[in-house]
Amino acid sequence: MKGKFSKATWIFLISTTIFSSLVFIIGGSLMNFIMLAPGLGAVMATALTNRKWSDFGWKFPLRYVILAWLLPIFYAALAYMVIWLTGIGDVPNPLFIERAKMTIGLETNSTAEVITIAFIYITHFMIIPAVIFALGEELGWRGLLFPELSKSFSFLNSAIISSLFWAIWHLPAMLLDNYGVGETPFPFRFIMFLLLVVFTGIMMSWIWLKSKSVLAVAIFHASHNVVIQMFFDRITLDKEYTNYFKGEFGIALVVSTFIFMLLLLKFGNHFFKDRI
């Protein structure tokens, strides 16, 4: 029925809320597995309804996987290039260089070489464990919620609604834990994060609908996390107003993801045969 949530949607939302709440109540090291809660909710919803396990989308279409891996790298690079070129933040952060040399075991004194190797290491190898945790989320948000909403709502509305739930799900971690803690006011951080989540959520929903692959969107999610949190954030040396622009709670990524979202929606079908 148009405009109505399906049974699977309600079970998913309730189950995810329960699983996430239990993680927060128990706390401790269990918080490391909070990203698995939406996946557990999706499994519960599938088990209790007539959804098929294949509905999650287990394909591995190479061109969509490559697109999912590269998109976050490109929109993050655009955002941070603006930050560096305008002087809002400096690059490189000497602490990042030293830690990268220690972590990877580099003996070179060439800063450019360290940065290049660190970038390759993070985007090619650190993404592997990140995909596992990202899959825990994406089984829920794009593997179940988005396709279930698509039965009653348009593509764009389904993508926005699922992304809003995704953003709200992060709110307890921002209020009760240290997720997103920074020097900027909380309302500013949450609004920036909300917009970022909606814009990236629309891109991931587009990729899922085109590819029918939850693995592709998990790779997108993981690529976003590692390239921003482990590379661009850490290589940037903060100045007075840097925190208003960098990271998942700053303006720069909101603008760059909005640009790439528009480009994907406008030109994506030209490069990828199947249409939404």
How many structural domains comprise the chain?
1
pLDDT of the residue at 182: 85
Q: Which residue has the higher pLDDT, 133 or 272?
A: 133
Burial class (CB in 10 A: 0-12, 13-18, 19+), 77: middle
Query: Is there a contact between 225 and 137 (Cβ–Cβ < 8 Å)?
Result: no
Residue 168 lies in a domain: yes
Q: CA dihedral in degrees (224, 266, 83, 95; nearest 10)?
A: 20
Residue 139 lies in a domain: yes
Residue 30 lies in a domain: no
Token pair belonging to 229: 């949190």
The half-sphere exposure of 249 on its side-chain side, counting CA atoms within 13 A, is 19
Q: What is the DSSP string of 60-122?
A: --HHHHHHHHHHHHHHHHHHHHHHHHTTSSBS--HHHHHHHHHHHT-----HHHHHHHHHHHI
Specify the DSSP class assigned to residue 238: P
Residue 19 lies in a domain: no
pTM: 0.96
- Domain holding 129, by residue range, is 59-271
Q: pLDDT tens for residues 153-198?
A: 999 999 999 999 999 999 999 998 888 888 899 999 999 999 999 9
pLDDT over 70 for what percent of the chain?
A: 98
pLDDT of the residue at 43: 98
pLDDT of the residue at 274: 61
Q: Any idea what the Cα angle at residue 139 is, between residues 133 and 143, rounded to 5°? A: 145
pLDDT at 105 over 70: yes
Burial class (CB in 10 A: 0-12, 13-18, 19+), 141: buried
As a residue count, the chain comes to 276
The residue-averaged pLDDT of 85-107 equals: 97
pLDDT at 134 over 90: yes
pLDDT of the residue at 179: 86
Residue 35 lies in a domain: no
| Confidence bin at 1 (pLDDT 50/70/90) | low
Residue 103 lies in a domain: yes
Token pair belonging to 137: 């989320």
Residue 130 lies in a domain: yes
Of 100-104, 113-117, 248-252, 266-270, give the lowest mean pLDDT range.
266-270
Residue 79 lies in a domain: yes
The residue-averaged pLDDT of 113-127 equals: 98
